[in-house]
Amino acid sequence: MPDKEKEILEEAAAALRETSGLDAIFEKGERLPRVSTGWRPDTVVCISREKKTFRFDTEIKERLTTSALGDLAAKLQGTRGRALLVASYINPVQADKLRTFNIPFFDAAGNAFFNEPGLFVFVSGKRLANDRAARPLRAFRSTGLKVIFALLAVPQLEARTHREIAADSGVSLGTVNWLMQELTRLGYLQEMRTGERKLVNKEDLLRRFVAAYPEQLRPRLLVGRFSSTRQDADWWKRADLTPFDACWGGEIGAALLTKYLKPQMATIYAEGNTSRIQAKFGLRRDPAGEVEILRKFWKLPDAAPLEQVAPALLIYADLVASMDDRNIETAGLVYERYIARLVGEAAA
């Protein structure tokens, strides 16, 4: 376990003991096996109460964003045992959402939730004495995320020239140069004996992309939200986005990939001037509208699993950022069918 994760766990365990009278003991050992597709626990935590011990596969988070919470909820579907979240801080909104998903947690501020027979605790609203928002590393801000997205979406893209990576990512050559250096420093890029570059720790890199995307990049892509003036709820089924160099993301993209979700929000990623799309589909600006248009930022012709559909990684990020229960369940399906193989996951 990395030192930072150990520090978070120790601080949170001390706070749990103070507010709830519970002792949390974490097991030390080798790397743990997967307990579901997309999730390998960081450690195992045991909680004791009245001569009974509760064992939890545990995820440790330094900085919990809404999207990271959605990502975790999607991956915890189908776990073979109890799962637990330990974080530096969990705010009241996040605490309520975790309760909705019935995911137990505790943090370094003393907030906690357990809902097991013989173990019920709920403490929320406590704040850290030195609460402060950590600024994300440069690699996980808007421009760096574009390159990381391309590297994750296209297998072995990291082995190509920096100029080719820049073209596929839609960023400058200089951006790729510093980003590749930063990924090497962070342990996500290795140079092999052959001289070829290899992307490693892809599952963790994916997790960090999904957590950062809705805060650092997505708001910069938003053209606006719209309502349809003349279309029924299924208008998107007859819509052809090909003439506009556009594609479906979010709920519609997921519905097309999984045949599972009934979309309530339409997400369109489009290049260039979007006025033609607005005119074609009768869209008028509406801050609370059910259609959102975002700038398409990538140049990856082979990354999408279906025509007129965004790359699965982006659809997954859209779904978990929404924190909608329907979308979280569908996100798990998208991950299993399309994303697990991108990060080279083994079964266990």
Q: Do 226 and 322 have their domain in common?
A: yes
Q: Do 72 and 151 have their domain in common?
A: no
Q: Do 197 and 281 have their domain in common?
A: no
In a domain, 175, yes or no: yes
Q: Do 119 and 152 have their domain in common?
A: no
Q: What is the CATH number of the domain that holds 284?
A: 3.30.460
pTM: 0.75
Average pLDDT across the chain, whole number: 88
User: In the chain, what percentage of residues exceed pLDDT 90?
Assistant: 53
pLDDT at 209 over 80: yes
> Domain span at residue 39?
3-123
What mean pLDDT is predicted for residues 154-183? 93
- How many Cβ atoms are within 10 Å of 57's Cβ, its own excluded? 23
Q: What is the CATH number of the domain that holds 154?
A: 1.10.10.10
For the ranges 32-46, 78-92, 304-318, the lowest mean pLDDT is seen at 32-46
Q: Which of 150, 177, 203 is the last residue of a domain?
A: 203
Position 325, amino acid: D
Q: Do 114 and 152 have their domain in common?
A: no
Q: Do 232 and 291 have their domain in common?
A: yes
Q: Do 7 and 119 have their domain in common?
A: yes
Helices (H) and strands (E) in the chain, counts: 12, 14
User: In the chain, what percentage of residues exceed pLDDT 70?
Assistant: 91
Q: Which of 123, 149, 183 is the last residue of a domain?
A: 123
Where residue 273 falls among pLDDT bands split at 50, 70, 90?
confident
Sign of CA dihedral 184, 68, 103, 121: positive
Q: Mind giving me the DSSP string for 279-305?
A: HHTTEEE-TT-SEEEEE-----TTS-S
Q: Do 78 and 167 have their domain in common?
A: no
In a domain, 133, yes or no: no
In a domain, 128, yes or no: no
Q: What's the rounded Cα separation, in Å, for the pair 24 and 86? A: 11
Q: Do 178 and 76 have their domain in common?
A: no
- How many Cβ atoms are within 10 Å of 97's Cβ, its own excluded? 19
Greatest mean pLDDT among 33-47, 73-87, 135-149 lies in: 135-149
Q: Could you report the per-residue pLDDT of 183-203, keeping only the tens digit for each?
A: 999 999 998 888 889 999 999
Q: Do 30 and 60 have their domain in common?
A: yes
Output the CA–CA distances (angstroms, integers) from residue 202 to 35, 141, 153, 156, 258, in the order listed.
18, 18, 11, 12, 24
Q: Which residues contact 160 (CB under 8 A, 6 or more apart)?
A: none
Q: Which of 123, 158, 187 is the last residue of a domain?
A: 123
Q: Do 324 and 228 have their domain in common?
A: yes
Q: What is the CATH number of the domain that holds 97?
A: 3.40.1350
Which tokens is 77 given? 């579907």
Q: What's the rounded Cα separation, in Å, for the pair 315 and 309? A: 9
Domains held by the chain: number: 3
Query: What is the pLDDT, as a whole number, of residue 348?
Result: 38
